């Protein structure tokens, strides 16, 4: 991929993470998955994993030493 595509992907992924963080469309999910993890906690854990992966991508491809 070219640098331009990497930058476009980084912007898109950043905006997508922001949109998912605001999550105004979701209703509280009080059900438990696996008998112990609530839907809300599971959603937040998945969001944090995606944010961490985005940070790794950003630091390795976008913010590299040129």
Please tell me the distance from the alpha carbon of residue 11 to that of residue 16, in angstroms, as a whole number. Answer: 9
21 vs 23, residue with greater confidence? 21
What does pLDDT average to over the chain? 84
**pTM as predicted:** 0.74
What was the pLDDT predicted at 51? Answer: 94
Please tell me the distance from the alpha carbon of residue 7 to that of residue 35, in angstroms, as a whole number. Answer: 41
Domain boundaries, the chain: 13-18+32-65
pLDDT > 70? residue 66: no
Q: Which residues contact residue 1 at a Cβ distance below 8 angstroms, ignoring those fewer than 6 apart?
A: 9
Q: How confident is the model at residue 40 (pLDDT cuts 50, 70, 90)?
A: confident
Please tell me the distance from the alpha carbon of residue 32 to that of residue 24, in angstroms, as a whole number. Answer: 21
Element (H, E) at 29: none
pLDDT > 70? residue 15: yes
Nearest to 42 by CA among 30, 53, 54, 58: 30
pLDDT > 80? residue 29: no
């Amino acid at each position: 991929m070219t640098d331009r595509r990497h930058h476009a992907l980084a912007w898109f992924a950043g905006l997508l993470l922001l949109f998912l963080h605001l999550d105004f469309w979701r209703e509280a999910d009080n059900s438990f998955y696996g008998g112990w993890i609530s839907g809300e906690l599971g959603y937040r854990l998945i969001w944090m994993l995606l944010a961490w992966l985005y940070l790794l991508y950003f630091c390795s491809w976008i913010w590299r030493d040129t």
